Amino acid sequence: MTALRRVVVCAVCAAPVRAEHAIAPQFERAIAAAQTRVVKLYGAGIGAEEGYGSGVIVSADGLVATAASVFLEGPALRCVLPDGRRVAARVQARDERRQLALLQVDADGLPAFEFGDSGALRPGDWVVFAANSFNVADGPEWVSFSVGVLAGRTRLDARRRAQAFPYHGPALLTDLVVAIPGAAGGALVNLDGELVGLVGKAAQSTRTNTWINYAMPVEELAAFLATHRGESPGSPADAQDSPALPERAGGPRPALDLGIRLFDIGGRERPAYVERVRPGTAARRAGLRPNDLLLSLGGAPITTCNDFYAALARLSAGQPCEAMIKRGEEVLVVELTPEEAP
């Protein structure tokens, strides 16, 4: 109890909570679990997008799950662990439909969340929300905690700015305000200290035009993690075993085609910007344009032209896949169907 009284802050203004308002005993286990398992993430701020967020440790060898946010695309992504260590992080996989990302951080021997059963929660049950809201903690300080109840469940029908939100699956609604900067990727924890939900990116209801305070059920996160274990196509293990194809025009060409040409000159670190979109191709039908920046393809992260060619080589002709692109200050998800290369 003494340790839990040491630093308790308000989730909104970061003001210290007075001693007589210390943590109630029923929440100690949940907060203690989240204190050592929620991390702070920092990347590149782009336009109106904040350059920070939160994540949850899901394996002892440094796998961190978070929301698939724009700041993850920066070249110097880093993670601040609960003990204050600052370590490098790399995107291992994405799920565009669920808007999730899996990171590998340079650390091991970490405490990982136990997954609970979100279906066992009933409206009115206590939950604890933990995240680096508003970036009030950037070192060994605790993240912010809020205590509330499960308000209900729904299927998400939302938009983010002018774009439809890709995830339309189940969502846990809370009476906690979690649609705030830095909260995406944070944890929703039950009183046993188990992870029951991952806070998603802030989105607005298409019906009411109000912000939705929701978390994705942990079962959706578990399905994402299962898909990206070593046996799954497009997983990190496959990416390590599959050589990247040369990016220059004179090198070997992929067997599949999407109908785009990249600015693929200038070395292996060249970003995957679209130079040209051919008429009558999958890319043209999906609405891709010159100067679009490819961020992922088929769940594989893309930071260079070589990443794109390697991801394309792992796809199958005639099988639709999702691609994430950045156009100006917008991030869009489109569906592409690879074809045999002419």
Least reliable range by pLDDT among 73-87, 159-173, 238-252: 238-252
Least reliable range by pLDDT among 34-38, 74-78, 151-155: 74-78
Type and span of the H or E element at 172: strand 170-174
Tell me, yes or no, whether 301 and 195 share the same domain.
no
CATH value at residue 291:
2.30.42.10
pLDDT in tens, 144-198: 999 999 999 999 989 987 788 889 899 999 999 999 999 999 999 999 999 999 9
The better pLDDT of the pair 227, 286 is held by 286
Give residue 22's pLDDT band: very low, low, confident or very high (50, 70, 90). Answer: low
Tell me, yes or no, whether 83 and 188 share the same domain.
yes
C-beta of residue 167 within 8 angstroms of C-beta of residue 117:
no
Tell me, yes or no, whether 201 and 283 share the same domain.
no
Question: Which pLDDT value is given to residue 18?
Answer: 42
Distance (Å) of CA 224 to CA 93, 98, 215, 239, 243:
9, 8, 15, 17, 24
C-beta of residue 28 within 8 angstroms of C-beta of residue 1:
yes
Tell me, yes or no, whether 43 and 66 share the same domain.
yes
Question: Which pLDDT value is given to residue 9?
Answer: 43
Tell me, yes or no, whether 162 and 268 share the same domain.
no
Q: What is the pTM assigned to this prediction?
A: 0.65
Tell me, yes or no, whether 243 and 188 share the same domain.
no
Range of the domain at 83: 2-225
Q: What's the start-to-end Cα distance of the chain, in Å?
A: 68
Assess if residue 231 is contained within a domain: no
